[in-house]
Amino acid sequence: MKILVIGLGYIGLPTSIMFANHGQEVVGVDVSERVVKSLNNGTIHIEEPGLQEELDRAIEVGNFRASMQAEEADAFIISVPTPNNNDALKSCDLSYVKSAVVSILPYLKKGNTVIIESTIAPRTTEDVVKPILEEAGFIVGKDIFLVHCPERVLPGQIIHELIYNNRIIGGMTEACTEAGKKVYGVFVKGELISAKASTAEMSKLMENTYRDVNIALANELAKISADLGINAIDVIDMANKHPRVNLHFPGPGVGGHCLAVDPYFIAAASPDYSPLIQQARAINTSMPSCIVAQVKTMMERVGGKKIAIFGLTYKGDIDDIRESPANEIWEMLIKETSYEIVAYDPHVNIPAVEKNSEIATANADLLLILADHAEFKTLNMDSISNMNQQIVFDTKNIANELATAETYIHMGNLSEISRESVESQILAV
């Protein structure tokens, strides 16, 4: 089978390489010349464990090449970004999906399968994509098989999860679903679950919304516990001993291109019926300013000047700072001109980010941990011995060996910071 994958990002690239390494001829198409050149020269442009080795293999066998131009194929997989629109409810921007579909029209033949992997607003496959194919003269379900097959992989574990996760195959018709199963059956070892396209769209969105709402509940618990002088982390540990309870964890906010984006697609599609989803988003987006307020209170109390930020990515062990609350906090603190801010992140390669942890902590008054990178889990008192004052605010509650520092604050014991700053943030939501 020849497969054309449009969009060589965090999902499209690993997906292309998996097909290539399972005996298919794959052409990956991307609008970025830099990405296409880099891949054809054998170098991946994203950080994902094991992916470089997989690309090496695909190129050696000769099954993968990148191109800026679409061409004929048996199956077309669209894996382009779907950001939020800049409207009141941050609806789903389908412009990249639409132009990707239009770009393959000249190369479509009867019998081809068109798969949308991009995360899309409910009903998009039926109401937006299908009409484009029909206008080009194809009968969906007979000439062309149209499927929405959302990806559900976790960054950092993409290769394993692509193979072993269950996959929802949401066809416009049963024949479409069958065609989609034939494509993914090439390498997916998880169950291929038949669904309607609209069910597939909504279930993908709800998976991330479920997590977002639960994290909002944990963040609200952290604020309530700060107000009432209770340790939120102890509460979560305790409550989760109940066999049917799974409280999530509070933190500096919710980032990434999924949890912080997808709930809006549902809210915008059905604004009157989604108050809980909208409120959860508001709670989670309030967290960066909540953390900044607490940092300011701590710095004021100790007369501090320098803050060392550890971790800018939206979660641990990845290099992705898109939609990262840590990055937002960094930007907010930089604006506070009375502080000297040094950000250290071993995973982020941009000039403004310090690469040496000792330079970051030297003479610092506060260590602010914002990402749960493996490197930070082993921080110990030696790691912070060159600080001016050993004050630690560990928003991910991971550097437990720092618990003996002069002050060790995490999302459980926020009540140790002044009550007023927390209260003002509660009111802000």
Among 63, 79, 208, 397, binds ligand SAJ (CB under 6 A): 208
> Among 149, 258, 290, 315, which one carries the catalytic annotation?
258
Using the rule CB under 6 A, is 211 a contact of ligand SAJ?
Answer: yes
Kindly determine how many residues on this chain lie close enough to bind ligand SAJ according to the rule CB under 6 A: 19
Using alpha carbons, select from 342, 396, 356, 400 the residue that is nearest to residue 372. Answer: 396
Whether residue 95 contacts residue 82, with contact meaning beta carbons closer than 8 Å, is answered with: no
Among 7, 12, 171, 251, binds ligand SAJ (CB under 6 A): 251
Using the rule CB under 6 A, is 120 a contact of ligand SAJ?
Answer: no
Who contacts 186 (Cβ-Cβ below 8 Å, separation ≥6)? 1, 19, 22, 23, 24
Q: Which is nearer to ligand SAJ, 11 or 133 (CB)?
A: 11
Task: Compute the least distance from the CB of residue 249 to ligand SAJ, in Å.
Answer: 3
Which phi and psi (to 5°) does residue 369 adopt? -95, 125
Q: Which is nearer to ligand SAJ, 154 or 276 (CB)?
A: 154
Task: Give the angle 108-111-112 at the CA atoms, nearest 5°.
Answer: 45
Task: Compute the least distance from the CB of residue 155 to ligand SAJ, in Å.
Answer: 5
What CA–CA distance (Å, rounded) separates 224 from 205? 28
312 exposure class (CB count in 10 Å sphere: 0-12, 13-18, 19+): buried
Q: Which is nearer to ligand SAJ, 246 or 380 (CB)?
A: 246
String marking each residue 212-231 x if it binds ligand SAJ according to CB under 6 A:
---x----------------
Who contacts 403 (Cβ-Cβ below 8 Å, separation ≥6)? none
> Among 90, 196, 204, 296, which one carries the catalytic annotation?
204
Using the rule CB under 6 A, is 319 a contact of ligand SAJ?
Answer: no
**Is residue 149 annotated as a catalytic residue, yes or no?**
no
Q: Which is nearer to ligand SAJ, 45 or 211 (CB)?
A: 211
String marking each residue 254-273 x if it binds ligand SAJ according to CB under 6 A:
xxx-xx--------------
Give 323-380 as a DSSP string: T-HHHHHHHHHHH-TTSEEEEE-TT---TTSBS-HHHHHTT-SEEEE-S--HHHHT--
CA distances to 83, 87, 99, 137, 266 from 132, in Å: 21, 24, 10, 9, 23
**Is residue 258 annotated as a catalytic residue, yes or no?**
yes
- Tell me how crowded residue 68 is: count the other CB atoms within 10 A of its CB: 12
Q: Which is nearer to ligand SAJ, 304 or 346 (CB)?
A: 346
What CA–CA distance (Å, rounded) separates 108 from 110? 7
Among 152, 223, 296, 373, binds ligand SAJ (CB under 6 A): 152
Residue nearest ligand SAJ, Cβ-based: 258
> Interface with ligand SAJ by CB under 6 A: which range of 22-30, 247-255, 376-384, 399-407?
247-255
Residues that bind ligand SAJ (CB under 6 A): 151-155, 207-208, 211, 215, 248-249, 251, 254-256, 258-259, 314-315
Tell me the catalytic residues: 204, 258
